[in-house]
């Protein structure tokens, strides 16, 4: 089985500073990319988990803004917390198990969910 190409997003933080919340992968998974699947964010999530969501959205916004971006080395687990709401497919059909899949920030939904990330961009 040949490995999918995995773009490494240079300048993107590898994790939330001061924590073990991973934002990127160091190398492609030999078994293939982990599929992105929507995860529900319940109101009773721990504060550190919520901070990781905010930090990841801020990093996505700073790196890509409103432009579509390739999944590349972005962590599937972290993307899954935003998937289908603040981050959506930028192509049809979309392959949730490909490093080359294109996605984009849904700015309206992201601003509503993470107002602190976008407050200076009004």
| DSSP codes joined into one string, 46-109 | -HHHHHHHHHHHHHHHHHHTTS-EE-TTB-HHHHHTTBTTTEEESSSS--TT-TT-EEEE-HHH
Do the Cβ atoms of 71 and 104 come closer than 8 Å? Answer: no
- Flag whether 31 is in a domain: no
Neighbours of 87 (CB within 10 A): 26
- Flag whether 66 is in a domain: yes
- Flag whether 90 is in a domain: yes
- Flag whether 5 is in a domain: no
Q: Provide the domain limits for residue 70.
A: 47-121
- Flag whether 11 is in a domain: no
User: For strand 87-89 and strand 69-70, is the pairing parallel, antiparallel, or unpaired?
Assistant: unpaired
What does the pLDDT read at residue 28? Answer: 81
What does the pLDDT read at residue 1? Answer: 38
Number of domains the chain is built from:
1
Task: Report residue 55: phi and psi, to 5°.
Answer: -65, -40
Q: What is the pTM of this model?
A: 0.88
- Flag whether 4 is in a domain: no
- Flag whether 41 is in a domain: no
Per-residue pLDDT of the chain (122 residues; tens, 9 = 90+): 345 678 899 899 998 888 889 999 888 888 889 999 999 998 888 999 999 999 999 999 999 999 999 999 999 999 999 999 999 999 999 999 999 999 999 999 999 999 999 876 44
């Amino acid at each position: 089985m040949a490995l999918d190409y995995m773009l490494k997003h240079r300048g993107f933080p590898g994790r939330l500073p001061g924590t073990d919340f991973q934002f990127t992968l160091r190398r492609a998974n030999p078994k293939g990319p982990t599929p992105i699947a929507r995860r529900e964010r319940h109101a009773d999530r721990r504060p550190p988990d919520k901070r990781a969501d905010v930090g990841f959205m801020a990093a996505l916004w700073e790196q890509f803004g409103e432009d579509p971006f390739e999944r590349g080395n972005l962590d599937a687990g972290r993307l899954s917390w935003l998937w289908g709401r603040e981050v959506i497919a930028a192509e049809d059909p979309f392959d949730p198990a490909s490093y080359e899949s294109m996605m984009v920030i849904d700015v309206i939904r992201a601003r509503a969910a993470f107002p602190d990330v976008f407050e200076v961009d009004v």
